[in-house]
Amino acid sequence: MQRRTLLKLGVVSTVVLVVAGGAAALLTPGLHDGKLSPAGREVFRAVGRAVLDQSLPREDGPRQDALNGLLKRVDVLTVALPPHAQAELSQLLSLLASAPGRRALAGLDDAWSLATEARIQQSLQEMRLSGLVLRRQAYAALHDITAAAYFSDASTWPQLGYPGPVRI
């Protein structure tokens, strides 16, 4: 393929993803009143399972509690975002929650709730290394929000070796 053809394909793909994301956002928003919608919760629960895999408790009950805590902290984080950032995140989550968007943007065939941690990790890695800026930005948003929300809780600090803030 010629370089010009590749550039055109990249632009067309980006436009299609943005339009599809906008349409999906109208049908199933990723955020509702600044908090995760059920679709947004499903995406972040799956991303949390993959990104935090080695940091989460191994037992199912405590693992689910940790993921529920993550989702609560993501809600706190998203409510604090400015309206334009909330709208962009809502569009991203809407797109990722839809089957066509999940396949196109994340390269994930299985539903988020059915995909294994290993498959989600592979999908996120492909997004991180993608030649499309949109995929890399989506990866960065998912990864950074997940990690920031999870490790903002003091109960996770010992895993990092962080003793907590210095008393003054």
Question: 36 forms bridges with which residues in the sheet?
Answer: 31
Do 65 and 156 contact (CB within 8 A), yes or no? no
pLDDT at 28 over 80: no
pLDDT band at 164 (very low <50, low <70, confident <90, very high): confident
pLDDT band at 81 (very low <50, low <70, confident <90, very high): very high
Amino acid type, 78: T
For 81-167, where are the alpha helices, taking DSSP H only? 83-97, 99-101, 117-128, 133-151, 157-160
Do 82 and 8 contact (CB within 8 A), yes or no? no
Q: Could you give the CA distance from residue 122 to residue 92 in angstroms, rounded to a whole number?
A: 19
Q: Could you give the CA distance from residue 71 to residue 37 in angstroms, rounded to a whole number?
A: 11
What are the distances in angstroms from CA 132 to CA 5, 79, 110?
15, 29, 22
Mean pLDDT of 107-118: 96
pLDDT at 85 over 70: yes
Residue 152: both structure tokens together: 């903002």
Question: 35 forms bridges with which residues in the sheet?
Answer: 32
Whether the full predicted model's pTM is greater than 0.85, yes or no, is no
Query: What confidence score (pLDDT) does residue 27 get?
Result: 60
Question: 32 forms bridges with which residues in the sheet?
Answer: 35
pLDDT band at 25 (very low <50, low <70, confident <90, very high): very low
Q: Could you give the CA distance from residue 27 to residue 142 in angstroms, rounded to a whole number?
A: 21
pLDDT at 157 over 90: no
pLDDT band at 21 (very low <50, low <70, confident <90, very high): low
